[in-house]
Amino acid sequence: MPRVYVSTVIAAPVAEVWRVIRDFNALPAWTPFVRDSRIEGGLRGDQVGCIRNFTLRDGGVIRERLLALSDYEMSCTYAILESPMAVTDYIATLGLVPVTEGNRTFAFWQADFDCAPTQENDLIRQIGGDVFQSALSALKRQLDGR
């Protein structure tokens, strides 16, 4: 089972970063590749079990279910239900840890999934670079130095 792991340090307090990413429906506000997003069924964006349905800038549609959300651990875990990527059993966690020196934030994003062995390296690069690193870099640019 492939694993993707990406991390960065953001020059902003952890509570401030958490306010930006906590809402499961907020991807368009801080990621460069999501055009729009909605939570299905009228549920809240912080309600475990809710499903976000979002459209990528390239037109792809992804549906994900929020599996866990912890204000204490400042993390959320979700599963992909439908995606143009050729992955199955995809579970990801986005989390934050305070960096006490300088009142900064350590942000990490990891995912485990199954895929065809011939696609493993490409999917690791795509998810790690085009998705996770791209999003965390955009978040960092948005919040650094606030």
Q: What sections of the chain are H helices per DSSP?
A: 14-21, 27-30, 120-125, 134-143
What's the whole-number mean pLDDT along residues 72-100? 96
CB half-sphere exposure, 123, CA atoms < 13 A: 21
Tens of pLDDT, residues 43-53: 999 999 999 99
Tens of pLDDT, residues 125-145: 999 998 999 999 999 999 985
Fold designation for 3-143: Alpha-D-Glucose-1,6-Bisphosphate; Chain A, domain 4 (3.30.530)
